[in-house]
Every structure is written in C-alpha cells, then in structure tokens.
Chain A
Amino acid sequence: MKLVVVGGGPAGYVAAIRARQLGLDVTLIEAEHIGGECTNYACIPSKALLHVAEVYRTAVSAPWLSGRPSFKWGEAVQWKDKVVERLRRGIELLLKSAGVEVIRGVAKPGPAKSVEVDGQRVEYDYLLLATGSEPVDLKELPRGGRILGTREVYSLESAPASIAVIGGGAAGVEIASLFAMVGAEVYIVEIMERLLPELDADLSRHVERALAARGVKVHTSSRVLSVHNTGGALELRLSTPSGEKKAETEVAVVAVGRRPRLGPFATLGLEVDSRGAVKTDVSMRTSLPWVYAAGDVTGPPYYAHKAYAQAKVAVESIAGLKSAYEPRAVPAVVFSEPEVISVGYTEEEAARRGYKVKSVRIPLAAVGRAVATGASEGFAKMVYDVESRVILGIHMVGSGVSELAGEAATLVEFYATVDDLALVVHPHPTLSELFVELAEAALGRPTHVARL
C-alpha cells in the first residue's frame, strides 16, 4: 500500500516513520526543510535562544558573580542554528533509516490518486496532508523591513534595543520573555483583556505581573492603530484602555496567531471548518475517504505534540488498525519566563462538563528546589472533582514547570485521584513535589504550606 505524506514537519515525519513501521510504502514530500516550522523556525529555535537568554539573565542578576557579562546575540543565534541543524539532520537520518523516500519540492494534487512535484507524478493509495499552518498577518502591520514574523525574529543579525511584540499568545509571550531577558525594551500588545487568553486566568495574571516586573510594557485590550517607519525606527500608535499611546521601537514582530494551510491541496475540495481547518473524524480521515490529515492543518491547538499524536493515529487507521485521536489532556506549555503549563480542564471547563469542581493552589516557594534555584515565584493549581476525587486539570506557572507537564498529563489521562497522588512518593528536592503538596492540600493537610 502506497502512502504519500505531504509535509515534513512534526505530523509528516512522524507519520512517515510510523507508516514504515507498519509496512507501508511511503513517500514524503517537503517544500522547505525537514522538521517543518517547529524544528526550524519555532519550538526549537525559541527554546535554544530562551535557554541562553536565561543563563545570561541568571548570571547578570547573580550576586555571587563578579564582573558583568555581556550578551553576544550573534553567537547565540549561531548556537541556535547549530541546534536546529543537528535536530533536522537527526530527523533526516531517521527518515532515511526507516526507508522513507523523501522528495523535495512543492506538491500539488495530480490526476486521480496522485500528486505532482515539479512535473514528477507520484501515485498513492492514501494521502496524508501534513501541510501545517501559516502566520496570520495584520493589515496595519505588513511584514517586511522592521516588521518581522515569528520566523525572522529568531534570526535577527543583532539584538534590537527595543521591540514591540504584537500578540499576547504563547509565541508572543515567549518572544517578549526572550528579549526582556537580553535587556531590550519590550512592548507586548494583546487585543484580548489578558495575555495567554486561552489559559486559566490566574496563570495569565501571574505572567503579566512577571513580565511587567522585568520591565515589559504590557498592553492588554489594546491594538496597533498605525505604524510609521521613520527610517531609524518604528513609531506605533496604540489604542489602549487608558487612551492612545505611542511606542517607538527598533522592530516589531507580528505574532497574532496561525491558520491552517492547505496550499495547492485546497483544490481537493475537502470539507473545512470556518477557520479553514480540514475536518476529520477521530481516525483523522477527511471527507475524502483516501485522504487523511494531521497536525496544524486540522486546526488548533497548534502544537507539535498534538501533530505527533494525530499523525500516528492517521497512519494506523490507514494501515487498517482501529486507532483514534481522542486524548483527554493535550498539555499546553508556554516557554515564557516564567513558564506556564495547562493540562486538562480549567475550573470553568470542568464545571461545564458537569463535574462538581474544587481547586487548590500551592505557591512554588513551598518546595525547596524552587527556592534553591532562585525560582520560587509562581504557583501550582489543581482542579478536581469533589465526588470522585479524580484530578481534572493541573495548571502551573514558574521557572522550570514545563518539565512537569508530562506528569500532569499522566495523572489526568489515568484518572488519578487526589488520594492516589498523595500516596506517590516524589523525590526531594525537586519541583515535582508540587504534585504531592497539591494532593495533600486537596485532602486538607498540606505539609509545607503554613496555615495563616
């Protein structure tokens, strides 16, 4: 059976590997770089740069360090490029060793069950669209020159002294965190009333405060009215709740979101929703029985880990296995400083689904490790059902909490109860002790939280 995968990003390459494991004949077509947006332009570059920026910030603020270090942006970007290249090569090697045929070029639908790449026709029994997404543009901020997209901002030749980040979602907050840490003057403009509007409101408030404490000028319920390039800088006119404001920055970055990208495959006439996302059933099959889709092209959330999971389901379904994408908790992680995780339901979501909800909250300072690493700001929150005591959601904000998202997802997926969790011995001193504290708080007997 022949499978053609269009797109070599997280959905595409994972699908190709799994398809080979299941004995399918696979051709993967990629127009740009294997690894897609995530590896080449988003998740990985941002994490590499955020890491070095955080090392710098720690060093700068460390009382035990003598002398003042300086941040070399150019070298940091080079290091980031090396990281990206290493991971991209790794994926290429994985594809090769799995026996996936890779064709470079832009694929478009061919006659009957075939695609065409630069005049070359590839026939298939099944087609998997992993064509990803593309950034949403703003009319008043056309990309080009000093107005950047999320790709360009991580490859700037020199660090800007000032930057305006338009969009307060995950990507915007990460960019704002990065440049704040390397000492730039940062504005962040979000049209909704809070940053990270899709996450728990408590988390948003904390991130806003943390960014503001680092000097970031946070403008929520705000938008850019106009932008004027003076030659040496950008002059932005902002509409904010406290009236019109002006901001002058070296560059601006547009990070207002993404939308599914079908590219030439829009002509297939697949059913799409109002966002333009390809509609699929739980087996990731589209309205055409021989066409499947996975990843960003199926709509939000735009996470690589969601793409991985959908890709595996799609290919397993194609191979005739009964596979379904129906996760209970897809972790949301924002690698801002401080980091944010949101796994499972928020209180409102859980209540809407008929649960009798309660939540508990623990400050990060309750665990020794957070204090020892100088990262005690932040909190952890757990949402659970009062009757069954099942853990429904875990939400955290703080340095290093991204690594706890996996355990949080495990708890939610396994319908762990607060009683279970309280009995699991967690290693001391680690941030994971937050879980035990949360469970004990739910049981009304937290050990490391003082009763005031």
Chain B
Amino acid sequence: MEFFKTRTHIPFMRQRKWAGLFSAIIFTVSIISLGVKGLNLGLDFTGGTQVEVSFQKPVDTAQIRNNLVASGFAEAVVQAYDARNISVRVSPEKGVTQEQLKAKLMQALPGGTLVQLDYIGPQVGAALMTNGILAIIVALIATMIYIALRFELRFAVSAAIALIHDPILILGIFSLFHLEFNLIVLAAVLTVIGYSLNDTIVVYDRVRENFRKVRKGTAMEIMDLSINQTLSRTIMTSGLTLLVVIALFIFGGPTLRPFALALMIGIVIGTYSSIYVAGSLAVAFGLDRVHLLKSSKKIEDDLP
C-alpha cells in the first residue's frame, strides 16, 4: 500500500502566502482569545480544593450548582465527566480546615461518594505556573540551540518561530472553548514542542542532503522537493501518532482526556507548521546552499 503511487510535486512554497495568511489569522484569534477570555486554569494553577464525586444515578449539574450556591459555595466550579461523575472545585477558605471543608462540600452533594480529593495551596499554584512558563521557554531555547549546532542559525530561528506558533494555537483553542488547562495539559504542550520539532528536523535533514546532491535549483525548489520527498513519512507518522492519541482520548478516562486533546490538536498543528511555517520561513530568511555545505558532516554509511 502507498499513499502516493508516483512522486508528488505539490508546490508547497507557492501556497505559502495562503498558509501565512491562515497562520496569521488563527494566531491573532488565539492571542485575542487569550487576552480577552484568558485560560480556564485548573486546580494545579489556581490552588484550592477539588473533589471528584460519583453518584448512583445520573445527576443534573445545574441542580448541583444551585445546591452548592445555597450552601455558600458561590464560586464553585462544577464540571461533569459523564452523567454520574462530576468534579467540584472551590477556593480555599480562611479558618476552615480541609476536613471541615470536605464535610461541608459533601453535605451539599447528597448521595455522592467521594472518589478523589485534591488540595493545592495558593502559593504552590503560583509556583507551578511560573515553572510551567519557564519550562516552555527553556524547552524552546534548548531545542533552538541544538538545531543551530546541528544545522544552521536560519533553520534554528525558523524552527523556533514554527514552534512558538504551536503552543500558542493550542492555548488559543483551550481558551476559546473554555477547556480546563492543568499541569498535565502543560506537559502535553511541551511534548508537542518536541514532537513538532521531529517533523521539522526530518524536513531540514532532507534539505541539507538535497543541497548536497542536487546541484541545480533555487532554495525554494529544493525546499519543495524535500517536503514532497518526506511527505508520505510525515503523513504516516502523524497519522499513527494521532491514532494512539485518539485511543488515549477515548479510552484513557477523564484525567488523560484533556492531555490527549492537547496532543491531538498539537499533532495536527505541528504537522502543518513544520510543512508550511518552518520550511517557508527558512527560505524567506534567505537560506542558501552555501550555508549548509560548510557545516555538513560526512555521515558514516556503516551505521546500523
């Protein structure tokens, strides 16, 4: 079985204006949404107490919310996992111990059994947030340094821009649809950074090889050729990874669902950005044969 019977000649570089426009629009929408609506931060970042409660019969979340408000939890965040399982998050109260808070909460949720209780102090939430932002920045810089060393600075900068693009879009979608953003989603965002880079590097590797092998051709033609040559691999790998992540989304349960969702979005966007954004940018930055030939190293053919 093959995706393409003959060699493909899709003019990716000619489509780059449309791709640029598309990227610009969703990027702007993401930023605006993040600025206006912000992120629906989960317990990890807000701090507070969260209980997961399971009921014998299907419950009505609106009814539960009313009960909670009546019991004095005006700002309780109720989230339904399915018909019988919900989570309730409340902010910490001064002078009330966790045990008292738990008892008060369970009183407001008659018929429910406690499945899980989480408490995170406010200072921890703040520290996790700072650490998370730090992690994204460190990951970006570290991978950029690696590409600059292995390939060339122009590649590193283009890859980094394509990379920033991916997490911003994931955050944008999480903000736009008011999906809960917690620590494990952050881990997914970081994984996407690594994953998207995978695709980009495969293309860049091919570009380097083609500059050496194909004597003629502009940078744009070489880029098109390289993307086309790696296209079936890109589709295959992204498709397979998407398959396992979808399995995780459907069967992994409520804890892993937001994580799987972030990865699903990330894989699609990452594949797109490594084809359209990373490649086009390197060309736009004036990539040329000479940049790569001097840094090329002979690769041992004898390796396994």
Q: Do A and B bind?
A: no
Interface residues of A (CB under 8 A from B): none
